[in-house]
Amino acid sequence: MPKYVTRLKVWFYSEGASPSEVIGKLLQLGFTPIRGAYDFAYEHSNPDITDENLGSAILEISNAIHKTLAGFKVLYTMDTHERESLDEILPLEDIDSELAQTRAEIEKAESEN
């Protein structure tokens, strides 16, 4: 059964809500911060979503985003598609862990020189 993901890119405005406020609200909606062309991803968990009723799922998450970010003075764009692989979404926690490991390896290599 296909699994769908909605990716979200957010543009902040200096006269709008702070990034931490916006991010907090998106996390409450179930979005995950990710690396890449988009800033956040929402994995649709409803197993009954098909190509035929995907429009309803997109409308539901779009309305939730719109309601949540109303008044925050941010712009955003969305992209919903079938998730192609488990590696497609890279949560920031995983990225931070990899980065910490890389930093440790560099420090070790520098100390050996």
CATH number of the domain encompassing residue 11 = 3.30.70
Report the pLDDT value the prediction gives residue 66, as an integer from 0 to 100: 96
Is residue 86 predicted with pLDDT exceeding 60?
Answer: no
- Most confident of the following: 2-11, 48-57, 83-92: 2-11
User: Cα 40–94–99 angle (5° rounding)?
Assistant: 115
Report the pLDDT value the prediction gives residue 9, as an integer from 0 to 100: 96
Report the pLDDT value the prediction gives residue 92, as an integer from 0 to 100: 60
Residue 20 amino acid letter: S
Measure the CA–CA gap between 37 and 68, rounded to whole angstroms: 22
Report the pLDDT value the prediction gives residue 28, as an integer from 0 to 100: 94
The mean pLDDT of 21-29, rounded to a whole number, is 94
Domain membership of residue 20 as a residue range = 4-112
Q: For residues 44 and 89, which has the higher predicted lDDT (pLDDT)?
A: 44
Question: Which of the four pLDDT bands, split at 50, 70 and 90, describes residue 17?
Answer: very high
Total domains in the fold of the chain: 1
Q: What is the CA radius of gyration of the chain?
A: 17
The mean pLDDT of 11-40, rounded to a whole number, is 92
| DSSP character string of 33-65 | EBSSSSSEEEE---TT--TTTHHHHHHHHHHHH
The mean pLDDT of 59-83, rounded to a whole number, is 93
Measure the CA–CA gap between 29 and 86, rounded to whole angstroms: 21
